[in-house]
Amino acid sequence: MSETIDGYIGGGKFAMLGDARSRDLDHFMGVGAVSELESRLAGFYGVKHAICMASATSALFSLALALDLRGADFITSPLNFGGSITPWLLLGNRPIFADVDRVTLTLDPSNVEEHLVTRKTRAILA
């Protein structure tokens, strides 16, 4: 039997959606494969807890909340994905863009240390 959703998903793919929905519910309830992965990761890294996130943006937002970083300056690269900066902006932080090394295309450490670090600087995102 071939099930379809608006003609886009057929065959066994529809069943996989049900499995994905089940895994989402398992994670919300704290059971299942995601919870097992979190436990294994915590054991591997020798920490009490590990939390799987849906995206790096979510992880950065959680990090900023956990560190209570609000109203601070943070130094970052202008060559960046918007999702890397957005969580910090949502908490009232101000990005300070550092010069980029022409060879590595990453932050130029001398520019950061000499010109950008202030009393309000709380993070460097590289």
**11 vs 104, which has greater pLDDT?**
104
Delimit the domains of the chain by residue range: 1-52, 56-125
Is the pTM value of this prediction over 0.75? Answer: no
Picking from 100, 101, 92, the residue whose alpha carbon sits closest to that of residue 122 is 92
Kindly indicate the confidence band of residue 108, based on its pLDDT and cuts at 50, 70 and 90.
confident
